[in-house]
Structure 1
Amino acid sequence: MNKFSFTLCAILATTLSLSSCDTNKDKEEAKPATKTEMLTDKTWMLSALTTNPARTMNGKQVTDLFPYVEDCTLDDVLSFSKPNVYHFEEGATKCSTNDPQSLTGSWAFQEDETVLATTFPGYTGNTYNIVSLDNSTLKLKAITTINGTKYTQTFTYTKK
């Protein structure tokens, strides 16, 4: 009986220690993805574009600019990879035949990962406030000045 109790205790102890290892493994796997991981594990396509204040398009004041985005822009793909490589791909159609099919530059988070900065060699860099970033959506906000008026544009990209 004593030998049986010892064996039973050994089996229980082994089972408990293995199950506690599994629990720790589950906790590690459940760790939320970092912003870098969410940004870099996919490619992105523009899915929405808004502006504030409204702009005049075809004689109407509009804030939703997405219906006015040219088809040649809708198939463009953005990708971000480590270490901080930013890639722009024109897609199947180009707005201008002189445009390069792809560009490779760099990206970086700034201000505690609340700002995304992108640069391409030979082009002016851009910075965007990160409105939201999750596993399927990247939402960026930028201020642009057109004819002396400041517009806040919000770009929404979805995972391709």
Structure 2
Amino acid sequence: MAVPSSLFLQDCDKDDFYKFNTDKTAIVDAGPTKCSPSDPQTESGTWAFNSNETKLTLMLPNSALNGDADIKELSATTLHLYSSQSVSGTAYTVDATFVPN
């Protein structure tokens, strides 16, 4: 059973935003509300497509979107990713849609 995002994400995580750069780097910004004052405001990582652009591999530290994700939609205005993962024996899914800010 998938854990609903409202149970998985803390309120301080819900205002985070992601930027995917054309040089295959990515930046995660904690947004206006950081979970802890000592947390960094931004963290950097990388992204890459698989050979037929059906999966996106993300290397983003401390992010729920870390590893391989299926691309459900990719257009000039939308990136929709889906991933099933297990962390410390707990299974969860991430279903995330990104749009330009």
Structure number with higher helix proportion: 1
- Percent identity among equivalent residues? 32
Matched, 1:134 2:75: yes
Whether the 8 Å CA contact 2:18–2:27 is kept in 1: the answer is yes
Partner of 1:71: 11
Q: Which AA in structure 2 matches 1:117?
A: T
Counterpart-to-counterpart distance in 2, 1:71 and 1:157: 18
**TM-score under structure 2 length normalisation:** 0.75
- Unaligned residue ranges in structure 2 (runs of 5+): none
SS state at 1:159 partner: coil
SS state at 1:87 partner: strand
Whether the 8 Å CA contact 2:2–2:93 is kept in 1: the answer is no
Whether the 8 Å CA contact 2:57–2:68 is kept in 1: the answer is yes
Q: Which AA in structure 1 matches 2:54?
A: T
Q: Which AA in structure 1 matches 2:13?
A: T
Counterpart-to-counterpart distance in 1, 2:59 and 2:29: 14
- Point out the structure with max Rg over C-alpha: 1
Q: Which AA in structure 1 matches 2:59?
A: T
Partner of 2:86: 145
Give me the CA root mean square deviation. Answer: 2.8
- The Cα shift of 1:131 comes to 1.0
SS state at 2:12 partner: helix
Counterpart-to-counterpart distance in 1, 2:54 and 2:96: 15
Matched, 1:92 2:32: yes
**TM-score under structure 1 length normalisation:** 0.51
Counterpart-to-counterpart distance in 1, 2:31 and 2:48: 24
Partner of 2:53: 113
- Unaligned residue ranges in structure 1 (runs of 5+): 1-52, 56-63
- The Cα shift of 1:116 comes to 0.8
Q: Which AA in structure 1 matches 2:51?
A: E
- Determine which structure has greater relative contact order: mean sequence separation of CA pairs < 8 Å that are 6+ residues apart, divided by chain length: 1
Q: Which AA in structure 2 matches 1:135?
A: A
